[in-house]
Amino acid sequence: MVCFFCLSPTVANAHAYLQSSTPVDQSTLDQAPKKVVLTFTEMIQNEYPSIIVRDSKGNRVEKGKAFINPENDHVVEVGVQDSLPADVYSAEWRVVSADGHPVSGVISFKVGKTDKSFTTGSEIGGNATSAWPSTIVKMVLYIGFSLIAGVLLFFLVLYRGMIDKRLSKRAGRVLYVGAGLLTLGFLLFLPVQVQIYTGGKVLDIGAMGQLIRHSGIGHLWLLQVVSFLLLIASFIVIFRKKLVGTHVVMAGTALFVRGNLVC
């Protein structure tokens, strides 16, 4: 039981925040900039950094893809088209901070003399990432995990008698609900993360595969799935009253606790 209670997650707690930008937010420039540069308070992961620059009509004017400065991993930049006309421009950005969480925002600037007002975040709308789908998925995962952990703690700590048919049936119902919620959460997790990280379609299989292979959040998802399967195997063993059941459950629970806490 020691590993169950003492296992602590190792994960960064701070999100990245925009520290400065070039051009400065809501500034007016005499000449068009050659690029947009964003500096953050924390390291930015090389996972889908995005800066989209638009004019007042919504036309994209950035040149190439956004990238992390090779000399400073706090800096993300993107080039812009040459000789931008007098207008108001917005730069919508989305990056992944060192703790694996995506953050996003918008800055705006004017070029030359123009009567147009600065574009606000609400007017840009369309590409802003909503956090509620991710919150719902996490709630589903946490509820499912809590149900399963409750059954495990009951049998490992509180209950010392034989597991009769009636008790096994009741516990099984709780486990089925918990396992069902976890399965649902795991199935929804990747599509939601793809939308958050890339702003693309939630059912983009290629993006899901890339997220699993190359991102910390994808590796975490794999750890959770493996831990979940280990727990299912533990249930089968413990309800068959094998002597190794308790040890398997403890190991599976420890892994699963770690996987859930770091997310």
Query: 77-112 pLDDT, tens per residue?
Result: 999 999 899 999 999 998 888 766 778 899 999 999
Beta strands in 81-181 (DSSP E): 87-97, 102-111
For the chain, the structural domain boundaries read 18-124, 131-261
Distance CA(78)–CA(13), nearest Å, equals 28
- Centroid of chain to Cα 174: 28
Q: What pLDDT digit, counting tens, does each position of 144-197 carry?
A: 888 887 877 777 777 766 666 777 788 778 888 988 898 898 888 888 877 776
DSSP 58: S
Distance CA(130)–CA(196), nearest Å, equals 8
pTM: 0.58
Q: Which residues of 202-228 are buried (b: 16+ CB within 10 A; e: fewer)?
A: bebeebbebbbeebbbbebbebbeebb
* Fold assignment, 18-124: Immunoglobulin-like (2.60.40)
